[in-house]
Amino acid sequence: MARGTKRSLEGKNVVITGGGGGLGAALGREFGFAGANVALLDIDYEAAVLAADKVERGTATAVECDVTDFDSCRSAIGLAEERLGPSDVLVNNAGLSHRSAFAETDIKVIRRIMDINFWGSVYCTKIMLPTITERRGAIVVISSTAGYAPLLGRTGYAASKHALHGFFATLRTELPGTVDVMIAAPSFIDTKLRHHTLDGDGEITDHPQARVGKMASPEDVAERIVWGVERRRSTIVLGSVGVFSRYLNALAPHIYERMMTRSLGSELEH
């Protein structure tokens, strides 16, 4: 499986977690445009059905799945493969964030974030790895700028994304020449997720979100991720803010932390 060889997605079967809305739904449409069949897994089954209806090419199916439950993941993936056939690509997209200082955050919130963002990805990868290895497919994990740099007011979220980086970068070293493992790290995306983050008590917060730079559309991010899968990329950092943050944090972390804290300080003013 040469790295210089472009991967064709025509007729391939793709499983996307968190596929009912936002980036997950956009990924379903974009993989469909590339000729793939897609299974959109989401705890919100009705949202997944609506998203599947908007996939214009190939076959799209919706499957209810709670990624925090290993048995639910196994059942959902089994149902997806009954409908579409063996899977070639897994996109670990399901995610949740919080916005609260750690001192004011109930530990159950941190655990919830880790269960969805990290363990959900580990569960689905564990279940699907034998099939994807046999088919010499690809695994994608949707990380974030917070996967390689601190992010004020999001200790649990940053921890989950750092964990994803460590897990999947290491997994890549275990699968040379058999499975492509790609980490995609966007910065701020204009999706409903930003309006459904948790506060320190685990409730949905309506506090205005601070951000840096222009938010990317889910369609643009999805297009780049599919591009990365086709070209067998190992890592893609999306957006100028993401690229700048990655290098500044690596070269001068103290400067990055000061700039980030100043830009996002309003996150803790409530």
Q: Strand 235-237 vs strand 89-92: parallel, antiparallel, or unpaired?
A: unpaired
157 is catalytic: yes
Report how far residue 203's alpha carbon sits from residue 176's, in angstroms, rounded to the nearest whole number. Answer: 42
Active-site entry in 123, 148, 157, 256: 157
104 close to 161: Cβ distance less than 8 angstroms: no
**Which pair of structure tokens corresponds to residue 256?**
């990055």
What's the CA gap between 133 and 126, in Å, rounded? 11
Token digits for 62?
């919706």
Q: Which residues in the chain belong to E strands, given as ranges?
A: 13-17, 37-42, 60-64, 89-92, 138-142, 180-185, 235-237
- Distance between CA atoms of residues 63 and 59, nearest Å: 13
Distance CA 70, CA 266 (A): 37
208 in Cβ contact with 266 (< 8 Å): yes
Give the active site residues.
157
